[in-house]
Amino acid sequence: MEISTAITLLSALAQDTRLRIFRHLAQNGPQPAGQIGEAFNLPLATLSFHLKTLQQAGLLDCRREGRQLIYQARCAVIVELLAYLTEHCCALPSSSVIPLENLTRSPVAMPGKTYNVLFLCTGNSARSILAEVLMNHHGQGRFRAFSAGSHPTGRVNPYALRLLELQGLPCDGLRSKSWDEFATPDAPTLDFVFTVCDNAAGEVCPFWPGQPLTAHWGVADPAAAEGDDALKMLAFRSAFRELENRIRIFTSLPIHSLDRLTLQARLDDIGQTVLDTAS
């Protein structure tokens, strides 16, 4: 790392709001600009200035998803900065330097752990319900799945229930509920939170105890399909296959041996997976 790069990084972080924004993204994973602004109650112009400063310094990545800009902390840059400061500024002997792999290669959990997974959408009536059942099925005891909504409809879509029955998957206990249930002190500690609709991804989520990894796995809303029963069921089958494809990829990951940065990248990649409808 060049000294000019180190100065740029330190200058970008030497401001209270920018440091808090970077820490927020590092702890909570990628988020839309609007969600970041809501979290810190910042006007749009102020938020844009801080995000641009962090991005230009190389501390944030930015990608576009539809009309939203999604920002992600580049934690590896901080590791490089620490290494530079340790070697060139502190003059510490090599025996006292913390190996970089200890900072970036810490596994998420030990083998044998059961991971709690929450799927979110707006109404918690279709996509998140399907994902909950699929994760519990394919997780084979390694994953315990839940679902919730930012504005739950209060009922599970009948087409979702019918499809699950046709697939031979259990429907007992399924209900449409608020995500607030998972932000209480006695709620399960979450390891992963996945949004499966664009609305939920853009809204300000409650505080999740345990700092779970998050990702957006957007799927078209089958409940919005128009036409007769056959066409509506076709839309639900398409959503079902897309979710199942992503969940199969996720459950095959060697989670216990991956560090948070690597695992976060894998989760984001899964969210970009497109189902091959020709197969």
More confident residue, 38 or 1: 38
> What is the residue whose two structure tokens read 């209480």?
184
Q: Are strands 115-121 and 143-149 parallel, antiparallel or unpaired?
A: parallel
**Cα-flanking dihedrals φ and ψ of residue 41, to 5°?**
55, 50
Lowest mean pLDDT among 34-38, 116-120, 196-200: 196-200
Report residue 153's pLDDT band, with 50, 70 and 90 as the boundaries.
Answer: very high
Nearest to 213 by CA among 115, 123, 96, 132: 115
Q: What is the pLDDT of residue 106?
A: 47
In the chain, the amino acid numbered 3 is: I
Q: Could you tell me the domains of the chain? A: 3-104 (1.10.10.10), 115-271 (3.40.50.2300)
CA distance from start to end of the chain:
47
**Could you tell me whether strands 68-73 and 143-149 are parallel, antiparallel, or unpaired per DSSP bridges?**
unpaired
pLDDT at 241 over 90: yes
The pLDDT value recorded for residue 174 is 96
- Set 62, 75, 171, 205: catalytic member: 205
Continuous H helices in 114-228: 127-139, 158-166, 198-202
Q: What would the mean pLDDT of 135-160 be, rounded to a whole number?
A: 94
**Residue 71 confidence (pLDDT) above 80:** yes
Residue 171 catalytic?
Answer: no
Most confident of 99-108, 153-162, 265-274: 153-162
* Active-site hit among 62, 75, 171, 197: 197
Of 65-69, 145-149, 229-233, which gets the smallest average pLDDT? 65-69
The answer to whether 260 touches 108, Cβ cutoff 8 Å, is: yes
Please answer whether residues 12 and 49 qualify as being in contact, where contact means their C-beta atoms are separated by less than 8 angstroms. Answer: no
Chain segment 100-145, per-residue pLDDT in tens: 444 444 445 555 689 999 999 999 999 999 999 999 999 988 999 9
Q: Which of 75, 89, 90, 121 is catalytic?
A: 121
Question: Collapsing DSSP states into helix, strand and coil, what is residue 222?
Answer: helix
Give catalytic status of residue 90 as yes or no.
no
